[in-house]
Chains A and B, each alone.
Chain A
Amino acid sequence: MSATTLAELHPGDIATIVSIHAEEALHLRLLALGFRTGKQIELIRKASFSGPLQVRIGTTDVMLRRSEAAKIEVRKA
């Protein structure tokens, strides 16, 4: 039940989005891709060399950079 950010999850972790602290452009894009408060999100994998993350939200797989994932606050299930 600990609050953390999406960037700090480990592959296989499932969490619930608590809030999104992103600037408007990123926020809109995330909304359109289905990122909403209260939604479940699963971290599938992290790319090597501090590369991007692959997450699954609803029926969509999305990749985003760690810097962007750090703006998404989640609570681990």
Chain B
Amino acid sequence: MKRIALLGMPNTGKSTLFNRMTGGAARVGNWPGITVELLSGKILLGDDMVEIIDLPGIYDLHGFSDDEQVVRHFLHDNVPDLALVIVNTTQIERQMSLLLQLKQLDINLVVILNMADEAKKFGISVDVAKMSALLEMPIFLLSAKYGSGYPEALQAITKALRYPTPGMAEQLRSQLEQDEHIETEMARVLKHTVQVPARLSDNLTEKLDSVILHPWLGLPIFFAVMYLLFQGIFIFGQPIQGGIAELFTWLRETALVPLLGGLPQAVQGLLLDGIYNGVATVAAFVPIIVLFFLFMAMVEDSGYLSRAAFLMDALMARLGLDGRGFVMLLMGFGCNVPALMGTRVMRSRAMRLLTMLVIPLSLCSARLQVFIFFTAALFSPKAAPVVLFSLYMFSFGAAILTALLFKGRFKNNEPFVLELPPYRFPTARQMVLRGWLEVRHFLRRATKFIVAGVVMVWLLTHLPLSAVPASADTLAGMIGGALHPLFSPIGINEQLTIALIFGFIAKEIVIGALAVIYSLSGDALGSAIGQQLDWVQAYSFMLFTLLYTPCLATVATLQSESKQLKFTALSLVWSLGLAWLVSFAFYQGARALGY
């Protein structure tokens, strides 16, 4: 099958064109020579199926950033039959350098001058026929966003594919480091073909920036935007999540329970409480992920994300992170899973890993449920908000501490020089496509892992079959007992230890697990726990719950995004260790003070 590689600088609308070409039927895959996964899709061009690969955006074919190396290695080990070079027409003056670098590789090229709509608005005019003649390659003006010029370009691509690629120079990284040749060639072509007005008339972006990036107003506006996003995701997401949960329960009660009624109790339990609940756990994340990426696509495509980076960089730079990391960290307070997936906007791997190490410490909405239950059971209504607030502070503190401690290990070597693209209206099509792709990615990557985890915990809490489920006689109970010397110094008893084992799956089920363990529910459970524990023990338990592994879905996402078992293990060990140390310091400290 013939291969087309999409190449271009960042902010050229490369991914938009990719989505238009593949119609969202893309998959993520591995390629020889590189360690990151790339999106690719197969489409019918003329009479043949052709594979299109979306390469990361690069500034320079000879650059040193992670992405630039990926592209270089990809081209070296997988010579494409055609390279489709996407150029942002509004920035053609400087983007042509990449085009000329690619030309020297002697591969089949078709050039797309994208964002024709914006260039027109700016008053930039390009003599395409002349440029085509000067550069000796087919060039097309196009708007990937609105689709104008698309059919003609597609035709040219089909035609170009008929010719074999002249081959590819082995000395890919040779000559032209800083060469004069490209400079002069660029000036020559531009002089004859492009007209740019002396000053760009883009008042809208400038006016918006003067408010959004205002020295005093900028940050309050940023936090207001974040708050709205956050609220938006949960106002829309929670009812849908609730609906899905109800649907799964209904299906279980009306169809599965009667259907499986004939099977032995243990098999029934494994199928329903193990596998089926695992699937339901996965499904519960779907609406949140879709909504998160609908909103993220909006923030990213509009150009606001780079503004957020501008506003927050002063603080984040000291933590070894950047402003975009802060946006993801905040989103993690809703749900860690999509926030981890969202770190893909960061192109430096080291910084991305550091951000991914920090995100699981954000107090997500599932943990909040546990804390609300415990504060209601053990603290007066007046003290409860203070307790909750202090937990949020611990969460921020743990995130800052983690970033400071690990920023040396995940050192970011890429220069922090970002473009601030003009504000653009994202199209609904782009947003929906993004949400859909991300959910598919999550389902594909995380389902097996999560279902296996849920089944494992079910087995732990139900074996041996003779024991009362989740009691001290089960495997989980035995583990709880064995861990007792570890947990008693932090004030967590054996019942709560078993609940923590459940909490490894998802924090949403901690309260449910406690109900099973104590054979009580609702207010009765609350008052039983209230009588058994004092506030120091309860707070220690909450601190531990806050900091240790958030949930299986987060672990699965850490693994699927980092693709590095060592990193996932580091995250697990660090959060468990930190949880224990913080709880220990708090519990022993409070006891020493006489509480």
Which of A's residues lie within 8 Å of B, judged by CB?
Answer: 22, 24-26, 28-34, 44-45, 47-52, 54, 58-65, 68
B351 to chain A, nearest CB (A): 14
Give the complex CA separation of A65 and B362 in angstroms. 27
Given A32-B9, A54-B310, A64-B64 contact (CB < 8 Å)? no
Given A28-B60, A32-B60, A58-B94, A47-B417 contact (CB < 8 Å)? no
A67 to chain B, nearest CB (A): 9
Say whether A63 contacts B418, CB under 8 Å. yes
With a cutoff of 8 Å between Cβ atoms, the chain B residues found around residue A24 in the complex are 64
A66 to chain B, nearest CB (A): 9
With a cutoff of 8 Å between Cβ atoms, the chain A residues found around residue B122 in the complex are 59
Give the complex CA separation of A49 and B216 in angstroms. 11
Say whether B314 contacts A59, CB under 8 Å. no
Partner of A47, one of B60, B313, B414: B313
B88 to chain A, nearest CB (A): 9
Say whether B310 contacts A63, CB under 8 Å. yes
Given A48-B215, A54-B213, A63-B417 contact (CB < 8 Å)? yes
Give the complex CA separation of A33 and B216 in angstroms. 29
Say whether B93 contacts A59, CB under 8 Å. yes
B157 to chain A, nearest CB (A): 26
Q: How does the 8 Å CB contact mask read for B175-189 relative to A, with 1 for contact and 0 for none?
A: 000100000000000
Say whether A61 contacts B91, CB under 8 Å. no
Partner of B59, one of A33, A44, A51, A58: A33
Give the complex CA separation of A72 and B419 in angstroms. 17
- Interface of chain B residues 299 through 321 with chain A (CB within 8 A): 306, 309-311, 313-315, 317
Say whether B415 contacts A33, CB under 8 Å. no
Q: Does B63 contact A (CB under 8 A)?
A: yes
A63 to chain B, nearest CB (A): 5
Give the complex CA separation of A32 and B68 in angstroms. 12
Given A28-B62, A28-B64, A47-B415 contact (CB < 8 Å)? no
Give the complex CA separation of A33 and B420 in angstroms. 11
Residue in A26, A48, A60 whose Cβ sees the most chain B Cβ within 10 Å: A60
A31 to chain B, nearest CB (A): 7
Task: Name which residue of chain B comes closest to A11, CB basis.
Answer: B215
Give the complex CA separation of A30 and B64 in angstroms. 12
With a cutoff of 8 Å between Cβ atoms, the chain A residues found around residue B213 in the complex are 45, 47, 54
Give the complex CA separation of A3 and B253 in angstroms. 78
Q: Does B98 contact A (CB under 8 A)?
A: yes
Q: Does B495 contact A (CB under 8 A)?
A: no
Say whether B419 contacts A34, CB under 8 Å. no
Given A24-B64, A34-B94, A29-B313 contact (CB < 8 Å)? no
Say whether A59 contacts B417, CB under 8 Å. no
Give the complex CA separation of A49 and B215 in angstroms. 9
With a cutoff of 8 Å between Cβ atoms, the chain B residues found around residue A29 in the complex are 59-60, 63, 65, 415, 417
Q: Does B148 contact A (CB under 8 A)?
A: no
Q: Knowing that A33-B59, A64-B415 are A-B contacts, what are 10 other residue pairs whose CB atoms are under 8 Å apart, sorted by A's residue number? A: A29-B59, A30-B417, A32-B94, A33-B417, A47-B215, A52-B310, A59-B122, A62-B419, A63-B309, A65-B416
CB-defined A-B contacts under 8 Å, sample of 19: A25-B65, A25-B413, A28-B63, A44-B209, A47-B213, A47-B310, A48-B215, A48-B218, A49-B314, A50-B314, A51-B314, A58-B93, A59-B122, A59-B196, A61-B422, A62-B417, A62-B419, A63-B418, A64-B418
Given A28-B60, A32-B60, A32-B98, A52-B416 contact (CB < 8 Å)? yes
Give the complex CA separation of A47 and B322 in angstroms. 14
Give the complex CA separation of A29 and B416 in angstroms. 10
How many B residues touch the partner, as a band? Answer: 35 or more
With a cutoff of 8 Å between Cβ atoms, the chain B residues found around residue A61 in the complex are 419-422
User: Do most interface residues of chain A lie in helix, strand or loop, or is the interface mixed?
Assistant: mixed
Give the complex CA separation of A51 and B309 in angstroms. 10
With a cutoff of 8 Å between Cβ atoms, the chain A residues found around residue B65 in the complex are 25, 29
With a cutoff of 8 Å between Cβ atoms, the chain B residues found around residue A60 in the complex are 91, 94, 419
Say whether A59 contacts B420, CB under 8 Å. no
Say whether A25 contacts B93, CB under 8 Å. no
Give the complex CA separation of A15 and B215 in angstroms. 23
A3 to chain B, nearest CB (A): 22
Give the complex CA separation of A48 and B416 in angstroms. 17
Task: Name which residue of chain A comes closest to B11, CB basis.
Answer: A60
B210 to chain A, nearest CB (A): 8
Say whether B315 contacts A49, CB under 8 Å. yes
Give the complex CA separation of A47 and B222 in angstroms. 13
Q: Does B90 contact A (CB under 8 A)?
A: yes
Q: Does B200 contact A (CB under 8 A)?
A: yes
Say whether B310 contacts A32, CB under 8 Å. no
Q: Which 6 A-B residue pairs are closest in the complex by CB-CB distance?
A: A32-B59, A51-B314, A49-B314, A34-B94, A26-B415, A61-B420
Partner of B90, one of A30, A59, A63: A59
A50 to chain B, nearest CB (A): 6
Give the complex CA separation of A33 and B11 in angstroms. 12
Say whether A59 contacts B200, CB under 8 Å. yes
B111 to chain A, nearest CB (A): 17
Task: Name which residue of chain B comes closest to A61, CB basis.
Answer: B420
Say whether A32 contacts B97, CB under 8 Å. yes
Give the complex CA separation of A31 and B68 in angstroms. 15
